[in-house]
Amino acid sequence: MNKTLLTIAILGLLTLFSSAYYSAPADSRIGYKAPGLVLDNNNGLSPLQQHMGENVLLTFWSSADVESRWINKHYDSLSRVDGAGFVHVSVNMDRSEGVFDAVVAIDNLNHSTQFSTSQEAQEKIIKSWRLDEGYHSFLMDANGKIVAVDPDEQLLASLK
């Protein structure tokens, strides 16, 4: 009887200690820790890492997808309002750096939060962020957990 209780206690402690070191898998769905975002033209430092501890709205867009371009421009303007409770980070999925640069200038976007990437990196991003059916925006809390996909203005305003 004592051996059984001791075995159960040891197994319980092992479970408790091992679960403390377990981190939830990354996934682009609400409630999960956001997948990594590595942009090969950004000196290896992820734009998400630059904003650790802040609410981050990550938007994927392309100039060929008019809706995603408009949404990116809209979120960019919302993020510039004094007291915005989030940082907007934007990743362009165009194949041409020249097109990206032109659209950033034409749309008057914040250059410091707009990023482009190579086709090779785009393939990884599409897979890890589940973008194969279209571009989306992901709101992450200060811990990097996804709290909303394609959030509306009301939700973003509540972050102030």
CATH number at residue 53: 3.40.30.10
Give the predicted TM-score (pTM) of the model. 0.80
At residue 15 the predicted structure's pLDDT band, cuts being 50, 70 and 90, is low
Q: How many domains does the chain have?
A: 1
Per-residue model confidence (pLDDT) at position 20: 41
Report the percentage of the chain scoring pLDDT > 90: 57
Per-residue model confidence (pLDDT) at position 36: 85
Task: Identify the bridge partners of residue 122 per DSSP, sorted by sequence position.
Answer: none
- What is the rounded CA–CA span in Å between residue 42 and residue 107? 22
Give the residue-averaged pLDDT of 42-68.
84
Give the residue-averaged pLDDT of 47-60.
88
Asked if pLDDT for residue 22 goes beyond 70, the answer is no
Residue 82 is assigned to a structural domain of this protein:
yes
Asked whether the beta carbons of 75 and 88 are under 8 A apart, the reply is yes
pLDDT in tens, 111-124: 889 999 888 889 99
Residue 86 is assigned to a structural domain of this protein:
yes
- What is the rounded CA–CA span in Å between residue 148 and residue 23? 20
Give the residue-averaged pLDDT of 130-148.
94
Residue 150 is assigned to a structural domain of this protein:
yes
At residue 25 the predicted structure's pLDDT band, cuts being 50, 70 and 90, is low
Q: Write the single-letter amino acid at 141.
A: D
Residue 10 is assigned to a structural domain of this protein:
no
Residue 13 is assigned to a structural domain of this protein:
no
Domain range holding 40?
24-157
